[in-house]
Amino acid sequence: MELFANLAHGFVVAFSPINLLMCLIGALVGTLVGVLPGIGTIATVAMLLPITFGLPPVGALIMLAGIYYGAQYGGSTTSILVNIPGEATSVVTAIDGHQMAKQGRAGPALAIAAIGSFFAGCVATVLIAVLGAPLTKLALAFGPAEYFSLMVLGLIFAVVLAKGSVLKAIAMIVLGLLMSMVGSDIETGASRMAFNIPELADGLGFATVAMGVFGFAEIIRNLDAGAEMNRDLVQQKITGLMPTRKDLIDSTPPILRGTVLGSILGILPGGGAVIASFAAYTLEKKLAKDPKRFGRGAIEGVAAPESANNAAAQTSFIPLLTLGIPPNAVMALMVGAMTIHGIVPGPQVMQKQPDLVWGMIASMWIGNLMLIIINLPLVGIWVRLLRVPYRLMFPSIVIFCAIGIYSVNNAPVDVILAGVFGLVGYWLIKHDFEPAPLLLGMVLGPLMEENLRRALLISRGDWSVFLTRPLSAVLLAIAAFLLVLTVLPVLRAKRDEVFTESEN
């Protein structure tokens, strides 16, 4: 089998001491980047790119890839511990993960996240090796119309994952969409709602808004008078570090389903990985016997999205490795790293650079192994961190977040904006609006608008393309089905309420 020969070759490359070291460095830096709030993968890879100038290309790319998927492991840590998602893909993890932490179950949550990520990473790596080339077709089958429909579906997921009022969740999504439109318009370059502030010319950054509505808002709320009681309670409640047998049994099916969903959606360039985590969460919530547990510390709500985002992080390499086209900003930087080394990736990169491609694939497996070895013992340290008195913890988080946000663009205005969003987030909490749908709307908004406009440009204004293209029609049908499924019970409940009231 050619495949095994290739893989064997890949492992020979990946097991060379220098590449093992690069893989370890990548995994460590990735974990660090994921754990530190605000520091994004893109910023770090961009900063480390010049260092790779002096390294052999294979080692350089193994390291950069390690940072990329390592950050997916680490991203869940702050989501669970302090309710600050470091990456767009770990926004969903924060919902149930942080609730688990509040119930004293941070250890099992972190461990399940690591185990799920490891399993998903391994499966997805095999998938790249075996089915990489045929799966490429999926990336090419997705035109603007399909992307638009996928984004609509993604936004419906955001409605489903809300635990409170559906109306409020939809309003938050729309607010997120509006916020995503700040900045330059992609088609005309016109500045929209930026009020001539240069820092807003490229729109609001994800890190800025996420740190604000999650991080700072959470801190401010915890400082409210009367909140000390709950915090102390959390610290006393911490139970076991590792998941129980029941936790493992409960998490197995979600990990499997999350891996499948993540692997498929990860191939799609753009928002694939983000949608994957939301889709996995939604699926679990819909399949669960008691959906009410979700949002209140369900371990499935951590296992599924974490597996999905890690699987997606691996399979998102497929378009890069088979087509030579970077599917997201981090991959674009990796293409830059290759270009600096004189390798311009293209469709033939697999044939022309077998060392690079198979070495990278093999290294991903090794990297995942390293990551779980790094992460499982860390769980104990993270949980111990929760015992630090909050009076010392919160100023530290403020500083970490501030430095993190500043480092993204070296822009002080971003830090101020995040502060403003902190106040906005505080207000949202007080009025029982959930921030997760808002963030998803913000992340998916540009993709949705751009693809809608692209699709309409190509179809010359004919809206029927969304229904006549089969893939797009299927996606919209699923979206409509999900929406009905979510809204119907709410309407019925409302009606019952009205009836009971009138009877009284």
The footprint of another protein on residues 41-70 (CB under 8 A) is: 43-44, 46-51, 53
Q: Does 210 bind another protein (CB under 8 A)?
A: no
Q: Which is nearer to another protein, 427 or 481 (CB)?
A: 427
Q: Does 37 bind another protein (CB under 8 A)?
A: no
From the list 4-12, 81-89, 288-296, 418-426, the region that binds another protein by CB under 8 A is 418-426
Q: What is the DSSP letter of 293?
A: G
Q: Does 415 bind another protein (CB under 8 A)?
A: yes
Size of the site for another protein (CB under 8 A): 125
Q: Does 332 bind another protein (CB under 8 A)?
A: yes
Q: Does 270 bind another protein (CB under 8 A)?
A: yes
Q: Smallest distance, Å, CB 292 to another protein?
A: 19
Structure tokens that stand for 177 in this block: 């969409």
Gap between the Cα atoms of 324 and 346, Å rounded: 4
Structure tokens that stand for 402 in this block: 């501030």
Burial class (CB within 10 angstroms; exposed 0-12, middle 13-18, buried 19+) of 175: middle
Q: Does 265 bind another protein (CB under 8 A)?
A: no
| Per-position x/- string for 289-318, each x denoting binding to another protein as judged by CB under 8 A, each - no binding | ------------------------------
Q: Smallest distance, Å, CB 383 to another protein?
A: 19
Q: Does 344 bind another protein (CB under 8 A)?
A: yes
Q: Does 168 bind another protein (CB under 8 A)?
A: yes
- Exactly one of 323, 362, 436, 438 binds another protein (CB under 8 A); that residue is 323
Residues 36 and 400 sit within 8 Å (Cβ to Cβ): yes
Gap between the Cα atoms of 380 and 400, Å rounded: 21
Q: Does 335 bind another protein (CB under 8 A)?
A: yes
Q: Smallest distance, Å, CB 155 to another protein?
A: 11
Q: Smallest distance, Å, CB 50 to another protein?
A: 6
Q: Smallest distance, Å, CB 124 to another protein?
A: 21
Q: Does 230 bind another protein (CB under 8 A)?
A: no
Residues 89 and 312 sit within 8 Å (Cβ to Cβ): yes
Q: Smallest distance, Å, CB 159 to another protein?
A: 12
- Nearest to 361, CA basis, from 25, 132, 139: 132
Instruction: Indicate if the alpha-carbon torsion angle 177, 320, 360, 116 is positive or negative.
Output: positive
Burial class (CB within 10 angstroms; exposed 0-12, middle 13-18, buried 19+) of 423: middle
Gap between the Cα atoms of 25 and 64, Å rounded: 9
Q: At what angle do helices 57-82 and 17-35 cross, to 10 degrees?
A: 30
Q: Does 3 bind another protein (CB under 8 A)?
A: no
- Exactly one of 389, 468, 485, 489 binds another protein (CB under 8 A); that residue is 389
Gap between the Cα atoms of 503 and 238, Å rounded: 47
Q: Smallest distance, Å, CB 456 to another protein?
A: 6
- Residues 6 or more apart whose CB falls under 8 angstroms from that of 217 comprise 421, 422, 423, 424, 425, 426, 428, 429, 435
Structure tokens that stand for 185 in this block: 């318009």
Q: Does 412 bind another protein (CB under 8 A)?
A: yes
Structure tokens that stand for 47 in this block: 């900063």
Distances in whole angstroms, Cα of residue 441 to Cα of each of 47, 155, 206, 248: 28, 7, 11, 32
Q: Smallest distance, Å, CB 308 to another protein?
A: 23
From the list 36-44, 151-159, 278-286, 291-299, the region that binds another protein by CB under 8 A is 36-44
Rg over alpha carbons for the chain, rounded to the nearest Å, is: 22
Helix, strand or coil, per DSSP, at residue 184: strand
Q: Which is nearer to another protein, 197 or 480 (CB)?
A: 197
- Exactly one of 345, 359, 435, 437 binds another protein (CB under 8 A); that residue is 345
Q: Does 413 bind another protein (CB under 8 A)?
A: yes
Gap between the Cα atoms of 333 and 337, Å rounded: 6
Q: Does 157 bind another protein (CB under 8 A)?
A: no
**Footprint of another protein on 174-203 (CB under 8 A):** 174-175, 177-178, 181, 184-190, 192-193, 195-199, 201-202
Q: Which is nearer to another protein, 8 or 141 (CB)?
A: 141
- Nearest to 223, CA basis, from 398, 448, 451, 408: 398
Q: Smallest distance, Å, CB 287 to another protein?
A: 29
- Residues 6 or more apart whose CB falls under 8 angstroms from that of 477 comprise none
| Per-position x/- string for 421-450, each x denoting binding to another protein as judged by CB under 8 A, each - no binding | -xxx-xx--xxxx------------x--xx
| Residue matched to tokens 């902190």 | 422
- Exactly one of 398, 473, 482, 487 binds another protein (CB under 8 A); that residue is 398
